Structure 1
Amino acid sequence: MKKKYSVLLLLVIFIIFSSLFFLKNSNTKLRSNEFVQSTTPTLFFHGYGSSANAERHMTESAKKAGVTETIIQANVDRKGQVTLRGRIPKGAINPIIMVQYEDNRNPDYLQDAAYAKAVVEKLKQAYGFQEMKMVGHSMGNMSILYYLLEYGSEENLPKLTKQVNLANHVAGLENWNLPSNLTLDPQTGQPSAMNEQYQKLTGLREVYPDKQIDVLNIYGDIGGNTDGSVLNISSKALKYLLINHAKSYKEVKISGRGGQHSRLHENSEVDKLLIDFLWRK
């Protein structure tokens, strides 16, 4: 009798675990009716002093939503050597690459751009990608913008089709290099003053690919027109750099507690914005 009950107990346990496994996999199944079924990769770039962990909430949200089943990591050392952790299967739908810089406190944006280029070249060499999408948080935006400034015209590199700028600080940071009493032209977005960093980025107005890239600029406001680290006016100054050549340009403000600088990459509202913009049909 005891043996019979033991067998029944094992059977019940097996059924429970099988059901849980099925539910887990059904929840992460690709939703081809909702999202584009493309092999184009999306690269995520973290901010100053951060790591790929800061990208995880956003990337896992995309996976859980049924956007993709493939997330790998690209680690960049201080010499610009790239190591890929994980593998992108042939034909993988909407693969995601979480980029991590070992040299994650380098304010030399030209060097950050070189790191970004190294990742792009490694991915093209390994997988032959011809197009890509990019998402940057905080200083990760500078990796993307300076990459486009320095290398965006190189025809041998994959074409960028979508760009998300999250908590960018293109016009500078308060109490450091943000011009005082800064204002933006209500029509063009042109700043009333420009620091050296922004002046260099105005080169994007000449080299940014024409009508090729859809841009989503997300910034947070916890009150007082700031996300706690970056003033909204600095984030909104991105418009002047890109508006003339972007295929489309959209700004979204995240208000309240979830709009805090670091909370923006842990925010379900932001997750939905990214998923809809990058992948939804």
Structure 2
Amino acid sequence: MLNNTKMKKFKHVGVAISMLFLCSCSASFTYNNLSWLSSFWVDDYVDLNKQQNKQLKKIIETTQHWHRSTQLPAYKQDIQNIKTLFNEGLKPVQLKEHVVFAKKHWRNLLEFAYLPLAELGENLTPLQRKTFINNIQEKIDEERDELNEQAFISRKKDRLEEQLEYYEQWLGKLNAEQKILIKLTNDKHQDSSELWLEYKQQRLNAAKQVFESENLTQSEFIEQLSTVIKERELYMSPELLKINDENLSLYVNLLNELNTTLSDKQRENVNERFDELIDTLDDIIEG
């Protein structure tokens, strides 16, 4: 079962480009207009001059063309594979392999786009670099304040409500046994919010160090910023990586357990959702 992402605002260019699990009537419009939509994200962090805007537009258009022609067909195949797995009988090991494989699409995106993005970063003026870093720091600080304001038990409760809503979107009305399974899994789920904030801060600190270095050659700057852009796990703590894997196993086990409780109607609902995702991707691929 795949996440039904409804994009209200792009948090970064990568998300703006990567539309794997989008399923809505506006998906094609959103994807086809990434160039100007992404500018709203950029404006939140730094003002680009005319030449830099032209450079960013070229990056987005080139990446979008590559993504549409190579990645979206792969996403579609992934969904078809998981649909087949769902109908033939879920096996935890196979399902986890598919989920892990799907995550590699994000890595593919970074591998394709990191160099031109690093080159754009190298073209920023000292003031632009400082503004960019300060604005991202402000966003992280806001997230940290929001996290501190919400008690752990409250976050747990909110997550359970989100999970129940999510599975209802896929299955339809949940029975008592399914609600219990979802609640038990939610109870075991490890909250990694603070660790994710630490990761964001570590990655930002690394970018700041590159931006503020005065003795780097152009090639050294691009190489070091490229590392910050594409090597996400380098800035994740071993604890975060461990929790991510354990939470993924919980999610896979829950899907396997839920699969044994589904009514014929719920199975029909799931297949319809898979078909909607596939149709959406077909629309986007065709442009």
- For the criterion TM > 0.5, the same-fold answer is no
TM-score interval w.r.t. the shorter chain?
under 0.3
Which structure shows the higher helix fraction? 2
Which structure shows the higher strand fraction? 1
Q: Give TM-score, length-normalised by structure 2.
A: 0.24
Q: Give TM-score, length-normalised by structure 1.
A: 0.24
